[in-house]
Amino acid sequence: MIRECRESDWPAVCEMVAQDRPSLSAGLILSRLSANSVVFEVGGLIQGVAARTAKRVSPTGTKVSAWVYTAPPFRHRGIGGALWRRLWPDIVADPPEFIATSYRSDTGDAAGFFARRGFKHLVSADCLGYPGNAIDYVPVLKAELYTEQHFWDFINLANEAFLQLRQENGILPHLCYPPGFDEKAARHRLMLFREGVFMFRNQAGATVGYLWIEGPAIDAIAVAPGFTGQGYGSEIMKYAINLILKHGHSTVTLEVAQSNQRANKLYDSLGFTLLEAVDEARMCDVASVVLPTK
């Protein structure tokens, strides 16, 4: 039976998802279940869950994020397909320009599941974890909590820092914030999450990088191309690790594109280890997609 997810379901759902996705914190799992989520239940046992966000404006167009998880013992029984068909009518009632999803790629057949439903592979990444202690270091950068005055520094740095990576992986648009992006929405999102966004300046006062953390996860770290190779990325990472551990989390997590050799080398040197591999995928032309019957 498919029904709406209740608050009383959250502990069981978190446990089920965490068994398959060890890189996801309970807080992140719960954030995905906070609205528009359904579960597949038989005899009081939850065997699968699916959730979607409301349509929102992103720098690359209107977007819905959606996820489907089925507990490993109950896969290949049509549960995931049934959950997806339950979400689908609400999505296409007001279709976004694209739907984004992510799934584990080193086990199971999630890639095939989403491909059959019209998703195209975007990028492959590794989820890494740092279970160690705080790291002693002598800071040379000044960390500043994000404010509105940092907005254009953040936008320009994000565009510069990730341009090559997005080009190499065929991620369109190549700029994180392309010309004509929704400035109001971007400003709102940054202020909403500002407690976890930090800008870094060197001793000359130049903005050299930024950090975005959410709970135990490093969501993004960037160093401006003109300042790479000077140890700034390593220092920002150490700042992030120590701050996350100080907030009471036992493990620091992050995702890194498998093709990003420079970043992977840095994370390996700091003691990060592989938790799981994931793919990110998108569905475009949402209104024209025809769902499979199973």
d(CA 228, CA 161): 10
Task: At 161, list the tokens.
Answer: 């820092």
d(CA 228, CA 235): 12
Please name which of 148, 144, 221, 138 lies closest in space to residue 183, comparing C-alpha atoms.
148
- The torsion of the CA quartet 56, 58, 62, 63, rounded to 10 degrees, works out to -70
- Evaluate whether 210 touches 233 at the Cβ level (below 8 Å): no
Domains of the chain: 2-126+279-288 (3.40.630.30), 142-250 (3.40.630.30)
Full pLDDT tens readout for the chain, 294 residues: 999 999 999 999 999 998 888 888 888 888 887 678 999 999 999 999 999 998 988 877 899 999 999 999 999 999 999 999 999 999 999 999 999 999 999 998 999 999 999 999 999 999 999 999 999 999 999 999 999 999 999 999 999 999 999 998 888 889 999 999 989 989 999 999 999 999 999 999 999 999 999 999 999 999 999 999 999 999 999 999 999 999 999 999 999 999 999 999 999 999 999 999 999 999 998 988 876 765
pTM: 0.88
